[in-house]
């Protein structure tokens, strides 16, 4: 009954596809209102946000552009820790109204490291839309402008989110048991 096993862990249904669909529609409606008369550029962060980005974009009635980028974090050559690299942002965002599309903001580290690089290019405005947010886990200050669901600090999969590569195709969001 809504229980699945992925790799070594058991997951149970946490957010139904119907609830996701409804919430994504509401976010799109808010964006349609906020960006009326503008032509925002949506930058979706791969891989996790592909499904949210597709569904969100489908509900937009304003003129809008969409591109995808990948943020890779890896251990640097020095022991200074993680480095975040941008892959594939080819668009010139100078003067544009940019909306980042994320699947989930957990610690906030990924976006916190990436935003200065975008701001450096002087967009006209920069907002963040994330389907999920784990407020208890967020350790880096970030202003999240559109949030689908605030959830507890527990691992989730489905609707684009994976556990070691698996689970992205699930229609519902599942939480680890």
Q: Which is nearer to Mg ion, 38 or 109 (CB)?
A: 109
Q: Yes or no: say if 101 and 118 are a contact pair by the CB < 8 Å rule.
A: no
Scanning 8-16, 47-55, 129-137, 163-171 for contacts with Mg ion by CB under 5 A, the matching segment is 47-55
Q: Yes or no: say if 55 and 74 are a contact pair by the CB < 8 Å rule.
A: no
Residue 126 is inside which H or E element, if any? strand 125-133
Q: Does residue 40 touch Mg ion according to CB under 5 A? A: no
Q: Is the dihedral of CA 74, 116, 52, 55 positive or negative?
A: negative
Least CB distance from residue 62 to ligand IMP, whole Å? 25
Q: Yes or no: say if 171 and 9 are a contact pair by the CB < 8 Å rule.
A: no
Q: Does residue 48 touch Mg ion according to CB under 5 A? A: yes
Least CB distance from residue 173 to Mg ion, whole Å? 14
Partner that binds at residue 108, options ligand IMP, Mg ion, none, CB closer than 5 to 8 Å by kind: ligand IMP
Q: Which of 25, 18, 8, 1 is nearest to 155 (CA)?
A: 8
Partner that binds at residue 109, options Mg ion, ligand IMP, none, CB closer than 5 to 8 Å by kind: ligand IMP
Q: Binding residues for Mg ion, per CB under 5 A? A: 48, 103
Q: Binding residues for ligand IMP, per CB under 6 A? A: 48, 102-110, 155-157, 161
């Amino acid at each position: 009954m809504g229980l699945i096993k992925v790799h070594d862990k058991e997951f149970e249904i946490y957010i139904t596809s119907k609830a996701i669909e409804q919430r994504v529609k509401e976010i799109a409606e808010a964006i349609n209102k906020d960006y009326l008369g503008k032509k925002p550029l949506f930058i979706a962060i791969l891989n996790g946000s592909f499904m949210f980005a597709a569904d969100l974009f489908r509900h937009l009635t304003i003129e809008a552009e969409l591109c995808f980028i990948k943020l890779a974090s890896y251990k640097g050559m020095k022991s200074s820790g993680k480095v975040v690299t941008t892959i594939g942002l080819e668009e010139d965002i100078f003067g544009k109204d940019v909306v980042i599309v994320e699947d989930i903001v957990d610690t906030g580290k990924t976006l916190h490291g990436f935003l200065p690089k975008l701001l450096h290019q002087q967009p006209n405005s920069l907002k963040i839309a994330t389907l999920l947010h784990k407020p208890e886990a967020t350790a880096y200050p970030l202003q999240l402008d559109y949030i689908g669901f605030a959830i507890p600090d527990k691992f989730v999969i489905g609707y684009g989110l994976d556990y070691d590569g698996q689970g992205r195709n699930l229609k519902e969001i599942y939480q680890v048991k």
